[in-house]
Amino acid sequence: MPRGRLAIGYPNESFVGKGTVFANITKESLRVRMRMNRVNELEEERLQKLTKLMNRDQKVQAVLLQRVMERAERNIEHMRGYREVINNDFKFDNFRTMEHGFRKRLVESPRTARQISLETKIYNGGYQPGYFKHEIKRKIRQADPNVFHRVVKKVLKEQSQKESGEVLNRKMSDMTYYRTLKEKQQKGQFYFKPQVRHLVPLSKEFS
């Protein structure tokens, strides 16, 4: 190899330093690595954007599916209420206008007046669901377990408050109090078992 080319390619016969093959390879390797890192960053950003789009699309599809299910459930409840109304409340055998001696002027309450009005509409237009909007809503509300639990809770609360008021009546004697509980037990309102034997109402032979 010529002397001049050796000096240019390998200055001072060293593999380390500026202009050497090792330095050029290291520089090129670093450039390629930086480029690959940048490509990886761009691909990572692209993947994140695609993931966000997919997640958003899944959420939109879930919301649409939920709305469709809710609408279908409402339609099913509406049809159940409609069937309940026409099979029970407005069954042809139960029509007020078909009763013997019926007279429209003898209507007793607004509910009866509405029933007669709906029966007249049925005569003219048949069993159209639009006629029974209020009745269907009432049937759906009655079939709702949450409404049922609220009503039962309210009744139990009123009953408990009433019983608590009787218990807190300080003017009532012990004998009268236990006698009242015994009477309620006999009526089947609740079960009562006296905890103090000498306060139990005495029979006639001991009175």
pLDDT for res 64: 93
| 73 contacts 144 by C-beta, under 8 angstroms | no
pLDDT for res 167: 53
Please, which pLDDT band fits residue 197 given cuts at 50, 70 and 90? very low
pLDDT for res 194: 47
Task: Find the mean pLDDT for residues 128-139.
Answer: 88
| 153 contacts 90 by C-beta, under 8 angstroms | no
Q: Which amino acid is at 103?
A: R
- Backbone phi, psi, residue 17, to 5°: 135, 170
The four Cα atoms 162, 167, 172, 175 give a dihedral, to 10 degrees, of 120
Task: Find the mean pLDDT for residues 19-36.
Answer: 82
Q: Residue written as tokens 């408050």?
A: 161
- pLDDT tens-digit series, residues 50-64: 999 999 989 999 999
Give percent of the chain above pLDDT 90.
15
Structure tokens at 206: 């001991």
Q: Regarding predicted confidence, which is higher, 109 or 138?
A: 138
**Given a cut of 60, is residue 193 above it in pLDDT?**
no
pLDDT for res 187: 67
Please, which pLDDT band fits residue 94 given cuts at 50, 70 and 90? confident
**Mean pLDDT score across all residues of the chain:** 76
Please, which pLDDT band fits residue 18 given cuts at 50, 70 and 90? low
